[in-house]
Amino acid sequence: MWPYVVEWGWFKIGTYGVMMAVGFLTASWLLARDLKRRNMSPAIADTIVLLGIVGGVLGAKLAYMWTEARSFEWGDLLSGNGLTWHGGLILAAAMIIGFFFWKGLPLRVMLDVVAPELATGYAFGRLGCQISGDGCYGVPCGPDAVDKFLCMAYPNGIVPEHAVVHATPMYEAAANFALFGILWKLRGRIRNPGVLFGIYLVASGASRFAIEYIRRADGRPDRFWGLRDAHLIALGQIVLGLVLLAWWGFKKPASLPDYGVMPASAPAPSTAPVRARRRKGK
């Protein structure tokens, strides 16, 4: 394990933070490429990534403190410990969707734009968990050869673990890199905007739901039927994704172009706020 890239006394740069930065930079580059392909302003990518950083980190911290921490302390917001992925996803999604409405951007097209980057961003984050050994481990492995091949110990991690356990961060990283590749390939082949995002919700939710069964609880409570909060939110993702696939898969409003590629002859959606454009029109 390699918990810190730099460690000089009190000054430390964690590998998890570095991998998060790599994930955000990669997402920004991919977003800009896809926006340009769709005849939209690539500059929008920087704002989306910034909102993702702020909403993701703050939401992940708040969700951890609300659902898992023993007590709520405001000072913990500034610590580097305790992050819950789904909390970050929910708050970041709310902020980014609010931005889309504020700018008057086509929601379904923009959701398709961000879907592959959600998968790859999560994958880089889980690589950071694996390299730093931050405690997101699975349950102890069984005796058979397959389990032994997929499992490992984390004696030098931030949270040391000497038992041989399932390397769940690697499982999730591999699953989400594969999901990114599929979504990136499909983005130019699916005619109705919004469908790509529905596929992301179903696939990522199913992956997290399955992985949660072999992740150790680490104090995360069972709500009912042996399901934890992550199970329930993953189920919510799957249900929402199926609803969007059924709704948007067969219905495309006339205002949206096929394949989510805006007409080259038409101006790209303005980056000015909607209310500013309305005042100008008056």
CA atoms within 13 A of residue 243's CA, in its CB half-sphere? 6
For residue 276 the two structure tokens come to 């500013």
> Using a CB cutoff of 8 Å and minimum separation of 24, what contacts does 22-27 make?
22/124, 23/120, 23/121, 23/122, 23/123, 23/124, 23/125, 23/128, 24/49, 24/52, 24/53, 24/121, 26/117, 26/120, 26/121, 26/124, 27/52, 27/117, 27/120, 27/121
Q: Quick check: 196 and 109 in contact, CB under 8 A?
A: no
CB-based burial label for 217 (10 Å; 0-12, 13-18, 19+): exposed
Indicate the pTM of the whole model. Answer: 0.86
Amino acid, single-letter form, for residue 165? V
Amino acid, single-letter form, for residue 276? A
State the Cα torsion 135-137-143-147 to the nearest 10°. -140
Beta bridge partners of 152: 165
DSSP secondary structure letters along 6-48: EEETTEEEEHHHHHHHHHHHHHHHHHHHHHHHTTS-TTHHHHH
| pLDDT averaged per 10 residues, the chain (length 282) | 82 88 95 96 94 85 67 56 68 93 95 96 93 91 72 92 93 97 95 96 96 86 82 95 95 86 65 52 49
State the Cα torsion 180-183-184-188 to the nearest 10°. 180
pLDDT at 196: 97
Q: What are phi and psi of 252, to 5 degrees?
A: -125, 120
Alpha-carbon distance of 176 to 38, in angstroms, equals 24
DSSP secondary structure letters along 76-121: GGGSS----HHHHHHHHHHHHHHHHHHHT--HHHHHHHHHHHHHHH
At what angle are helices 195-212 and 168-186 packed, to 10 degrees?
170
